[in-house]
Structure 1
Amino acid sequence: MTIFSKPQAVLFDLDGTLVDTAPDFARVLNTLRQDHQKDELAYEMIRSQVSNGARALTTLAFGDADTNPDFDTHLSALLERYLEGLAEESCLFSGLDTTLASLQENHIAWGIVTNKPSRYTLPLLKGLKLEHGCAVVICPDDVTHRKPHPEPILKACAAIGADPAQSVYVGDHARDIESGRRAGCFTIAAGWGYLNDGETIESWQADLDCATPAALNHWLNQQLLR
């Protein structure tokens, strides 16, 4: 798929794509493990599971729900502690401040389509002072079907009056690319995100693979010169 003019909108996944939330998740998860007399987990081990969600992180730290009768208790504790400090160490990935500034300067709407519930998404954006520049935020509680279904991306495009076929979706997970493709968007795989061990972005078959935010910025600049 090719965009023949500058995009009408650029939409981002949140965790692992736009914002590096792994430091706060790692801090909270290891604090919980310490409370249960367990050793800290390596940061990279936690980082690789962040895009898979809180259940995956709880499984990593305490075992899955089938083998741990206290799974739901651990999951609730993780989410509550995360909510208390979700913007302490999280930040935009380096270089994406340039991306957002360029989009705004060129009057291209940008927004967020995430599987992170609004209970956590909105305070995070406020804590990072991103809420005012963001044209639309779609969370799973805003839709009937979450990604990889196309509904969240289609709803975001409709909210800002953008044609999905002239819009971009950037994500760091296979489900992001599937969702964007099914919505009819130009899809970009974010290679700087939270990939599982042994996973490659090439296997997702996005329209464009970007190993770094700098590569994304280069592509965007080329589009703006058309």
Structure 2
Amino acid sequence: MSEPATRIRVVLFDLDGTLADTAPDLANALNHTLRGHGREPLPLEAIRPHVSHGGIALIRFGFGIGADHPQFEIYRRDLLDFYLANIARETRLFDGMERVLDTLEGEGIAWGVVTNKPAWLTDPLMRALGLDRRAACIVSGDTLRYSKPRPEPILHGCALAGASPGECLYVGDAERDIEAGRRAGTATLVALFGYLGEGDEPARWGGDGLLNHPAELLDWLGL
């Protein structure tokens, strides 16, 4: 795993599957929707790999239908309404992530979030986790015209946090995260502890390293 060539001043995180383990609450929302429409609930471990890809992916997986299905938007809205009302019942930071954030703050390294989650879900979740006032920036999927894998959200996060892309690190658990970071010119690390699926090949994504545990981020930064 390569080390940063320049001092990292800002660490940006993806939200679902990187900073926070949101899978239990999103799985509960999907299963609530499935039961409400006469379907059997699914186990958390089956749902987990789909969580990083949002509500559309969850409905596709859970109901086995495409976005052109006449009931698709009804199912998606039911899922999101339930999720918003129960957004942090079981969601927690990944084990070791609180120590990572505390260490970054203690070392004067700012951190923020760049996610494809829409702001109307991102903001209440960050508040519920007590992170909204700690983050140097929060960039949601609808903050700008474009979302990841386009580089603009990460570039916006760097600017809000007051650093150049070369002084920033982006950490995510999906290929689009690493692509966005690389296109933006930041260093990138893959969170293997996130929601990777069986077909994912993170070693081929072109990141600067792979993290098996959040604490390894501190090792990579030399902290």
Q: When the two structures are superposed, what TM-score results if normalisation uses the length of structure 1?
A: 0.94
Q: Secondary structure at the match of 2:79?
A: helix
Whole-Å Cα distance in 2 between the matches of residues 142 and 198 of structure 1? 30
Q: What amino acid is the match of 1:49?
A: H
Given that 1:63 and 1:71 are in contact with CA atoms closer than 8 Å, whether structure 2 keeps it comes out as no
Q: Secondary structure at the match of 2:58?
A: helix
Whole-Å Cα distance in 2 between the matches of residues 10 and 54 of structure 1? 26
- Partner of 2:93 in structure 1? 92
- Partner of 2:174 in structure 1? 173
- Partner of 1:51 in structure 2? 52
Report matched runs for 1:143-182 at 5 Å: 143-182=144-183
Q: What amino acid is the match of 1:129?
A: G
Given that 1:29 and 1:78 are in contact with CA atoms closer than 8 Å, whether structure 2 keeps it comes out as yes
Could you list the per-position Cα deviations for residues 13-43 of structure 1 after superposition, in whole angstroms to 9, with x for gaps in the alignment? 0000001000001111112211222211121
Q: What amino acid is the match of 1:62?
A: F
Q: What amino acid is the match of 1:109?
A: A
Of 59-68 and 97-106, more deviation after overlay is shown by: 59-68
In the TM superposition, residue 65 of structure 1 has moved relative to its aligned partner by 3.1
Could you list the per-position Cα deviations for residues 75-112 of structure 1 after superposition, in whole angstroms to 9, with x for gaps in the alignment? 11111111001111001000011110011001111000
In the TM superposition, residue 3 of structure 1 has moved relative to its aligned partner by 2.4
**How many residues of Structure 1 are paired with residues of Structure 2 in the alignment?**
222
Q: Secondary structure at the match of 1:187?
A: strand
Whole-Å Cα distance in 2 between the matches of residues 160 and 43 of structure 1? 35
Unpaired segments ≥5 residues, structure 2: none
- Partner of 1:28 in structure 2? 29
Given that 1:62 and 1:68 are in contact with CA atoms closer than 8 Å, whether structure 2 keeps it comes out as no
Q: Secondary structure at the match of 1:133?
A: coil
Could you list the per-position Cα deviations for residues 46-74 of structure 1 after superposition, in whole angstroms to 9, with x for gaps in the alignment? 11100111001011122323563211100
- Shift >6 Å, 4+ stretches: none
Whole-Å Cα distance in 2 between the matches of residues 211 and 38 of structure 1? 35
Confirm or deny that 1:102 pairs with 2:103.
Answer: yes
Q: Secondary structure at the match of 1:142?
A: coil
Indicate the percent of aligned positions where both proteins have the same amino acid. 44
Whole-Å Cα distance in 2 between the matches of residues 98 and 37 of structure 1? 43
Unpaired segments ≥5 residues, structure 1: none
In the TM superposition, residue 125 of structure 1 has moved relative to its aligned partner by 0.5
Given that 1:172 and 1:193 are in contact with CA atoms closer than 8 Å, whether structure 2 keeps it comes out as yes
Report matched runs for 1:1-226 at 5 Å: 3-65=4-66, 68-220=69-221, 222=222, 224=223
Q: What amino acid is the match of 2:173?
A: D
Whole-Å Cα distance in 2 between the matches of residues 34 and 64 of structure 1? 16
Given that 1:111 and 1:137 are in contact with CA atoms closer than 8 Å, whether structure 2 keeps it comes out as yes
Given that 1:148 and 1:175 are in contact with CA atoms closer than 8 Å, whether structure 2 keeps it comes out as yes
Q: What amino acid is the match of 1:128?
A: L
Given that 1:164 and 1:183 are in contact with CA atoms closer than 8 Å, whether structure 2 keeps it comes out as yes
In the TM superposition, residue 189 of structure 1 has moved relative to its aligned partner by 0.5
Note closer, same or farther for the CA distance 1:21–1:66 as it changes in structure 2 (3 Å cut).
closer
Given that 1:190 and 1:201 are in contact with CA atoms closer than 8 Å, whether structure 2 keeps it comes out as no
